[in-house]
Amino acid sequence: MTKQTDPQKTQVAEAENSELSKSVIKDTPEVNNEFSKVDFKGSKWIYFMVLGLNAIYILLFYWINQLYGNS
């Protein structure tokens, strides 16, 4: 399974995993609900920065295109 860490506790881990699976399946609606309220944890700027930076790249390409392009 996916969460085993201790060879001495394999059976326990199996049981825990089984419980984990059940609980996760039970909690699935909660997991899905979280998509509507994404937790940016105070660093949403980094996501805007990566998109903004790429927008700048495209503007730069547009400028190079205008300068040297032939279309």
Partner 1 sequence: MSSIDWIILGLVLAFIVLYGLAKTRNQSGVSDFVTGGNKASWWTIGLSVMATQASAITFLSTPGQAFHDGMGFVQFYFGLPIAMVLISLFFVPIYHRLKVFTAYAYLEDRFNVQTRTLTAVFFLIQRGLAAGITIFAPSIILSAVLGWDLVWLNILIGSLVVVYTVTGGTRAVNITQKQQMGVIFGGMFLAFLMLLNFLPLEVGLDEALTIAGAQDKMNILDFSFDFDNRYTFWSGIIGGSFLALSYFGTDQSQVQRYLSGRTLRQSQMGLIMNGMLKVPMQFFILLIGVLVFVFYQFNASPLNFNPTNERMVMDSPYAAQYKVLDQEKDLLMGQIQTLQLAYLDVEDPAQKDVLQKEISALNTQQLSLRKEARELILAADKDAETNDKDYVFIHFILTQLPVGLIGLLLAVILSAAMSSTASEINALGATTAVDLYQRHRPGHSEKHYLKITRYFTLIWGVIAILVACTAPLFDNLIQLVNIIGSIFYGNILGVFLAAFFIRHIKGLSIFWAALINQGFVISLFVLDLFEVIKLPYLWLNVIGCVAVILIALIVQFFQGDKH
Residue listed under structure tokens 């509507």: 36
Interacting residues toward partner 1 by CB under 8 A: 1-7, 10-11, 14, 20-21, 24-25, 28-29, 31-35, 38-41, 43, 46-47, 49-51, 53-54, 57-58, 61-62, 64-65, 67-71
Nearest Cα to Cα of residue 47 among 58, 60, 34, 38: 38
Instruction: Give the nearest distance from C-beta 71 to partner 1 in angstroms.
Output: 4
Half-sphere exposure of residue 66: CA atoms within 13 angstroms, side-chain side: 5
Instruction: Give the nearest distance from C-beta 31 to partner 1 in angstroms.
Output: 7
